Amino acid sequence: MTHILRIDSSIKGADSVSRRLTGRIVERLKAAHPDAIVTERDVTNGIPAIDGAWLGAVYIPADQRNAEQAQIAAFSDRLLEEVRAADILVIGLPVYNFGVPAQLKNWIDQITRRGESFVYTENGPEGLLKGKRAIVALSSDGTRMGSEVDFASPYLRHMLGFLGITDVTFVAADQMVFDPEATLKRAEQEVERIAA
């Protein structure tokens, strides 16, 4: 059974282009895998930034945590378990100020844990979340994906690879400000070409 994890990070709600695309991608995947389980995670609903309390909570043995540490670690564990359970990640990536939304960065920070999602070896870091596929729906008003000012897509590709997820496909609705209708139509056609 295929397990899909849909992650949305746009603050625009129903007006979001990236949410529209992640929805279409999930529809396409579900058409190909009717028995698929879909878990939805809207990171705009509150993913705390990591801090000293988080560091203290997730890197001490579970049986030594106090109540506050146990709660902090449990939330981070839940996010990580959603990724571990998924075969396919569908990630909405709106580009804000040339980078990833803070909420999405918080999610990445929560799941990037030494010994849990990656390890350091004598040959360098090794991701532990292997065997997964990621489809990223990028949207932007003015930033062209792959341009010298696109700091969002290279960062996300790098972080996914760092965690062991190297099968990454991008669908881009970029530079929407110039021709929104044509750009969105092109992106939706890209979705239809994705092998489900």
Query: Binding site membership: which residues?
Result: 10, 16-18
Query: Is 76 among the domain residues?
Result: no
- Specify the pLDDT at position 158: 98
Tell the residue number behind the tokens 């790098």, with chain if given: 158
The total domain count for the chain is: 1
Query: Is 147 among the domain residues?
Result: yes
- Asked if 171 contacts 138 with a C-beta cutoff of 8 angstroms, the reply is yes
Q: How far apart are CA 194 and CA 28, in angstroms?
A: 9
Q: How far apart are CA 151 and CA 74, in angstroms?
A: 31
Query: Binding site membership for FMN: which residues?
Result: 10, 16-18
Q: How far apart are CA 4 and CA 58, in angstroms?
A: 26
Query: Is 65 among the domain residues?
Result: no
pTM: 0.96
Tell the residue number behind the tokens 């998924």, with chain if given: 86
- Reported for 153-162, long-range contacts at CB under 8 A and 24+ positions apart, including other chains, are 153/93, 155/99, 155/100, 156/91, 156/93, 156/100, 156/104, 156/108, 159/108, 159/112, 160/89, 160/134, 161/127, 162/112, 162/118, 162/125, 162/127
Query: Is 115 among the domain residues?
Result: yes
Query: Is 140 among the domain residues?
Result: yes
- Specify the pLDDT at position 196: 62
Query: Is 25 among the domain residues?
Result: yes
Q: Per DSSP, which regions of 108-193 are E strands?
A: 118-121, 124-127, 133-139, 167-173
- Specify the pLDDT at position 194: 85
Query: Is 71 among the domain residues?
Result: no
Amino acid identity of residue 117, one-letter, is S
Q: 172 forms bridges with which residues in the sheet?
A: 138
The alpha-helical segments, DSSP class H, found in 86-147 are 102-111
Q: How far apart are CA 115 and CA 128, in angstroms?
A: 8
Question: What residues of the chain score a pLDDT lower than 50?
Answer: none
Amino acid identity of residue 49, one-letter, is A
CATH number for the domain harbouring residue 10: 3.40.50.360
Query: Is 35 among the domain residues?
Result: yes
Domain range enclosing 108: 3-48+87-193
